[in-house]
Chains A and B, each alone.
Chain A
Amino acid sequence: MATPHRSPIDPRKRIRHRKSIAKLRPDQLQALRIGFRKIQRLRDTNGFWYWAGVHGSPRYQCHHSPENGYDNLFLPWHRAYLYRLELALQTKEPRATLPWWDWPSSQATGIPPAFAAETAGGEPNPLAGCALPPLLTEREGWPAHTWRQPRRPIELPDAGLVRQILELSNFDDFSLQLEEQLHDRVHGWVGGTMKQIAVAAYDPLFWAHHTMVDRLWSLWQTTHSSRGPRPTLWRQVLRGLDMTVEDVLDTSALGYEYAGSTASRLVGAGEGRG
């Protein structure tokens, strides 16, 4: 089991671990649900509607592939975006961390049960969906709530494809393939709200999907000498998020990582120093 370990940047601080949704303990899943339930009720800048509206309608600040395919801020922008939503969650439920959805391991079952179940603990499951704000629902023909129309589970990306993309050594190449062949594909696979940029982030599953994307970038960083976009882009501001590319190159500087397990032992008195 992963236990928080020390930040390499500031050893006084402990790093949080983002975990697979399939591996959350009951208390961790409960904390996630509490956090989502609380921010879904907020109408301020910690609110779920506010953050969902930064990606799509009405603010549209998100970064996806540009016209030239390169100078691509897709990964840095979404890392900062997850970080800001996670802080909003933790403002209301300090134990909550964003989990990731491992698509290949869902090839038999589809959407993870934690997000698919209609109810949890006798209440509506806040991870199953969310009401859409009046700004959207006042449009004729729009439902009041997010919805999904998933394709067959076997059509989710397999582990081989994920591995092939992780092996691409150039960051721009890696980022573009990750975005198109995995990210875009899974948005389309879920269907419904998730397959429309304007409203995708209103579905709570969006956040687990993007945490998986962020995890793959983090894994890629552990095996390649480059950390991300070319240095000329590092001072670029990520719009709507008040952070720069440089701010998000290292997840441990943001207080989290994706280690599957860590173990630490305290050094006893008289040991450890010669």
Chain B
Amino acid sequence: MDRYTTPPGEPFEIPLWDGQPEFYRADLHFHRVEHRGDSYEGRIFFNAPDAGPETPAEVGAGYAGSLYVFGHGPCFGDEGHCEVPAGPIHPFDYRPPHQLNPQLRVVIVTDALRRVVEGGQSELHVAVVPIVAPGEGAGDVLYFDELSLVTYD
């Protein structure tokens, strides 16, 4: 996809205690991130539903940090080379996992989440805009299964 936003009506709830942030660290966990294509920067914006490739990566625009993915680039193999197998082909297959297995990505967003709370908001909408090359707009490179907001109190 060329842009991710939290589903409408399903924002993250920010953990608060007496209206104050109840965490000393906050992370965004991107689960099963694909890295089979181009490298890219995924710019993360909080409560900025219209964020796009031209939105400046600045605090005032809701910028919360970036996800960086080092992609594999084009396939140099033959047919089936880039297909990720479901598992070992038999119990004696000790080969390492396939290189294109999806990865976990963790972005620390503590300060950005505190700013959201200080702005009087208790819900969080996340937008992620992938940038492959500056000035070329968003690329169709962003693929992951699930996004989690993880806070530590």
Residues of A within 8 A of B (CB): 57-58, 60, 62, 64-69, 135-136, 139, 149, 151-152, 173, 176-177, 180-181, 183-185, 187-188, 191, 195-200, 239
Chain B CB within 10 Å — which of A57, A135, A191 has the most?
A57
Q: Is the CB of A187 within 8 A of B70?
A: yes
Majority DSSP secondary structure for residues of A touching B: loop
Q: How far is the CB of A235 from chain B (nearest CB, A)?
A: 15
Q: Is the CB of A195 within 8 A of B70?
A: yes
Q: Which residue of A has the minimal Cβ distance to B36?
A: A197
Residues in B with CB closer than 8 Å to A68 are: 104
Q: Which residue of A has the minimal Cβ distance to B38?
A: A195
In the assembled complex, B55 has its CB within 8 A of some CB on chain A:
no
Given contacts A181-B68, A188-B69, A199-B73, list 19 more A-B pairs with CB under 8 A. A66-B101, A66-B104, A67-B103, A68-B104, A69-B106, A136-B76, A176-B106, A177-B108, A180-B105, A184-B70, A185-B66, A195-B38, A196-B39, A196-B71, A197-B72, A197-B99, A198-B73, A200-B70, A239-B96
Binary flags per residue of B20-62, CB closer than 8 Å to A gives 1, else 0: 0000000000001001001111000000000000000000000
Q: Is the CB of A58 within 8 A of B40?
A: no
Count residues on chain B whose CB falls below 8 Å from chain A CBs. 30
Q: How far is the CA of A217 from the CA of B88 in the complex (A)?
A: 33
Q: Which residue of B has the minimal Cβ distance to A67?
A: B101
In the assembled complex, B149 has its CB within 8 A of some CB on chain A:
no
Q: How far is the CA of A239 from the CA of B94 in the complex (A)?
A: 12
Q: Is the CB of A188 within 8 A of B41?
A: yes
What 10 pairs across the A-B complex have the smallest Cβ distances?
A: A196-B73, A69-B104, A184-B68, A195-B39, A184-B70, A188-B39, A185-B68, A65-B103, A57-B76, A197-B72
Q: How far is the CB of B83 from chain A (nearest CB, A)?
A: 14
Binary flags per residue of B70-87, CB closer than 8 Å to A gives 1, else 0: 111110110000000000
In the assembled complex, B119 has its CB within 8 A of some CB on chain A:
no
Taking a contact as CB atoms closer than 8 A, the residue among B66, B72, B104 that contacts A65 in the complex is B104
Q: Is the CB of A187 within 8 A of B76?
A: no
Residues in A with CB closer than 8 Å to B15 are: none
